[in-house]
Chain A
Amino acid sequence: MDDHVRLSDQPIESREAEAFVGDPACGAIATFVGVTRDTFEDKTVAKLSYEAYGPMALKEMRRLCELARERWDVKKCAILHRTGEVPIGGASVVIAVSAPHRKDALEACAWLIDELKATVPIWKKESYVDGDAPPQWKQNDRDWAPPPRRTTTNHTR
């Protein structure tokens, strides 16, 4: 299988994803690492934790890999997402894509993180240092609605 998707409550590493997607026929590996930030607006973040609807999240991640392959000439995709508490500065998500040529790898990787944030059922809760604000569940899109079952999109980047 050319896709590798995984949820983990342990630290995730870009080299795991890159090692998986490496292929002799590919001249490019594009990697995205999402890292937890220590501030939100004017508040100082004390900790972050992620919760996932595991089986569905993995299904959606696999589906995104398949859609990426329909759209770009990519060889392998890997998506790793951390769950549970993630220390500030830790990787929360890693995406790696290999392709014969860099343009496909870069575009597919950028598309995958955008789509992951819009469709994969994972939630992040931020807690702030004392006095800043109560903990809150974050929201990627202000207008959340279940994503339609897209088989094609007019992606024009």
Chain B
Amino acid sequence: MEEQITVKVLLFASARELAQSSECTLELPRGSKTSDLRRALASKFKLLDVTSLAMDTAIALNQAYVSVDDDPVLSNGDEVALIPPISGG
């Protein structure tokens, strides 16, 4: 079994601008959770502030919101999106 998993990360709106990137792939150790992914992103994109990532930005896993109380384990091939405060309508 591979030790690493690869996930696709999508960034939108203010998160996309802060990271100066709309999409990237991250390799994470198998067993990593969404909280580990937040930390990996904060260190990959130095501009992303860890606190604001933790406080304001929701995460969608495979196009479904992850509740604030949840920290699911990621799987190889997952699509994870950073969802800053929304403003549709």
Task: List chain A positions with a Cβ less than 8 A from chain B.
Answer: 34, 50-53, 55-57, 59, 81, 92-93, 113, 116-125, 137-141, 144-149
Contacts and interface: CB of A to CB of B under 8 A. Distances in A.
Contacts of A52: 88
7 contacts: A53-B81, A116-B88, A137-B87, A144-B84, A145-B68, A146-B68, A148-B67
A56 B4 CA distance: 26
B89 A121 contact: no
Contacts of B87: 117, 122-124, 137-140
A117 B88 contact: yes
Contacts of A92: 89
The 4 nearest A-B residue pairs measured at CB: A122-B88, A144-B85, A138-B87, A123-B13
Given A145-B58, A145-B68, A56 B63 contact: yes
Contacts of B84: 123, 137, 144
B75 to A, nearest CB: 18
A19 to B, nearest CB: 22
A140 B86 CA distance: 6
Contacts of A148: 67
B15 to A, nearest CB: 10
Contact of B89 (A51, A117, A149): A117
Contacts of B85: 137, 139-141, 144
Nearest to A145: B68
B89 A140 contact: yes
B37 interface: no
Contact of A34 (B64, B83, B89): B89
Given A117-B88, A144-B56, 6 more contacts: A59-B64, A121-B60, A137-B14, A140-B85, A147-B65, A149-B65
